[in-house]
């Protein structure tokens, strides 16, 4: 398309003048102008032919705080040079990637890289490169998207929780509770020489005959309980914005607690209901952590299912000896009874309350707004106190966490009588 409408008008006037005057000189300049315009058009049209582009990421999975390297390549297989190519790098990354202007000789390629700080979790995409070119006179331009795109999944940061241990799944007053502490699985991992005190039913007779001395079976050790995390994504319960949003603290807490349990060789499962229900069956190992972090990377407060409804439905998935951990900003006391009722499934209930008042106050302060008034603060503070009192009545362990202190520090302070309480 023509970029200079004034030039088009000028050409039209010249054509009209030539028609009216019949001047040879006017005709000459008219033909010359038409030739220039034609050449300009062809140069712009062919400027993006025989052009290849590509973009590559140095990783497909990353963690908040990592630096992502995006590498671009632009190659011409044409026989003529391409003196002016303006490139743009559209993406959904937290920081925009600047474009650049390059020139290519025949059969030449150019490669460059850009570094992007990954400041927020989520699924991000680098779209195909947009290349723009035109003629030397600035009359015409051509634009095209060239090459493939690429994607990266950014995990939330995983906080270390030194000095804090997940409470035992053994429940006082339960006649059917699992025994506290590790127990042996049926899986034989090795054999070793017999030592006094070993049970005779553990003797491995075939190995004993081969070694000509008694050998006993060694079994794999399984922790006493799995951890099941209920992450509340009900949009009606969440408040705040940016890093001070309750959804971010919910996600961070779920990631840190899951990683802590997996490091302790516990099985971890998770349920979260946003736009869709997501259930990750309990399992161990690095692969399980990848599944959980992938879910949490894209989790948003978009659900309409309340925590109470999720707990009732999810109780059928819990097995004997499971620690059931609900992470929520909801001050609605309707979920306390369903959480406490998980004891009937053989689970030990625990609540992590993401304090909505603390998040609102932090968000207001960060935006430079006036602090919340007593009439705005006190109702939420009363709701939190009433919720903690009800949890204590149901003998459910509870922790209250805010946005501005490390998770591990807040959980440990609970044990020593900090601001959070443990029933």
pLDDT at 16: 62
The model's pLDDT over 301-323, given as tens digits with 9 standing for 90+, comes to 999 999 999 999 999 889 888 99
In CATH terms, the fold of domain 51-155 is Immunoglobulin-like (2.60.40)
- Percentages helix, strand, coil for the chain (3-state, rounded to 5) are 35, 30, 35
**What confidence score (pLDDT) does residue 368 get?**
84
pLDDT confidence of residue 84: 83
Phi-psi region of 244 (alpha: psi -120 to 50; beta: other; left: phi over 0): alpha
At 25 the pLDDT is 66
Q: Specify the CATH number for 227-415; select among 3.40.50.410, 3.20.20.70, 1.10.1740.10, 2.60.120.10.
A: 3.40.50.410
Are 51-155 and 227-415 the same fold in CATH? no
Domain residue extents for the chain: 51-155, 185-221, 227-415
Residue listed under structure tokens 């034989």: 188
The parts of the chain modelled with pLDDT lower than 50 are 1-2, 171-188, 220-224, 415-423
pLDDT at 120: 95
Q: pTM for the complete prediction? A: 0.75
**Residues 6 or more apart in contact with residue 67 via CB below 8 angstroms:** 115, 116, 117, 118
Give the model confidence (pLDDT) of 9-36 as tens digits: 555 655 665 566 656 665 666 666 666 6
């609970």: which residue's tokens?
Answer: 414
Spatial neighbors of 130 by CB under 8 A, at least 6 apart, are 87, 88, 89, 90, 143, 144, 145, 146
What burial class does residue 157 get, using C-beta atoms within 10 Å of its C-beta: 0-12 exposed, 13-18 middle, 19+ buried?
A: middle
> CB-based contacts of 233: which residues, under 8 Å, 6+ apart?
247, 250, 272, 273, 274, 299, 300, 301, 302, 303
The pLDDT assigned to 221 comes to: 45
SS3 261: helix
Residue 229 has what pLDDT?
Answer: 97
């Amino acid at each position: 398309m023509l970029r200079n409408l004034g030039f088009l008008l000028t050409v039209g006037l010249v054509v009209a003048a030539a028609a009216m005057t019949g001047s040879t000189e006017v005709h000459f300049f008219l033909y010359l102008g038409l030739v220039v315009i034609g050449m300009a058009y062809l140069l712009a049209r062919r400027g993006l032919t025989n052009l290849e582009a590509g973009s590559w990421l140095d990783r497909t999975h990353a963690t908040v705080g990592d630096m992502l390297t995006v590498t671009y390549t632009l190659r011409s297989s044409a026989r003529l040079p391409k003196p002016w190519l303006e490139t743009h790098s559209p993406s959904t990354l937290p920081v925009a990637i600047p474009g650049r202007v390059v020139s290519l000789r025949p059969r030449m390629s150019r490669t460059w890289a850009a570094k992007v700080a990954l400041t927020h979790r989520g699924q991000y995409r680098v779209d195909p490169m947009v290349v723009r070119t035109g003629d030397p006179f600035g009359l015409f331009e051509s634009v095209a998207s060239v090459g493939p795109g690429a994607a990266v999944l950014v995990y939330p940061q995983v906080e270390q929780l030194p000095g804090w241990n997940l409470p035992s799944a053994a429940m006082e007053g339960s006649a059917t509770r699992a025994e506290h502490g590790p127990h042996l699985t049926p899986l034989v991992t090795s054999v070793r020489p017999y030592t006094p005190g070993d049970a005779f039913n553990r003797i491995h007779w075939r190995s004993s005959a081969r070694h000509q001395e008694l050998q006993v079976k060694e079994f794999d050790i399984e922790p006493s309980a799995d951890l099941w995390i209920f992450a509340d994504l009900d949009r009606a319960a969440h408040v705040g914005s940016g890093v001070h949003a309750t959804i971010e603290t919910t996600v961070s807490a779920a990631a840190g607690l899951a990683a802590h349990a997996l490091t302790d060789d516990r099985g971890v499962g998770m349920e979260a209901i946003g736009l869709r229900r997501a259930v990750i069956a309990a399992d161990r190992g690095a692969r399980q952590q990848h599944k959980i972090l992938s879910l949490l990377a894209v989790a948003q407060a978009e659900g309409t299912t309340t925590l109470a409804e999720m707990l009732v439905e999810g109780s059928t998935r819990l097995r004997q000896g499971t620690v059931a951990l609900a992470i929520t900003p909801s001050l609605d006391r309707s979920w306390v009874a369903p959480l406490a009722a998980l004891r009937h499934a053989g689970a030990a209930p625990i609540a992590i309350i993401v304090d909505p008042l603390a998040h609102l106050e932090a968000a207001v302060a960060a935006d430079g707004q006036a602090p919340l008034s007593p009439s705005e603060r006190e109702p939420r503070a009363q709701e939190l106190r009433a919720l903690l009192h009800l949890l204590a009545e149901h003998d459910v362990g509870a922790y209250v966490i805010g946005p501005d202190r490390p998770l591990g520090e807040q959980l440990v302070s609970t044990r020593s009588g900090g601001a959070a309480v443990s029933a």
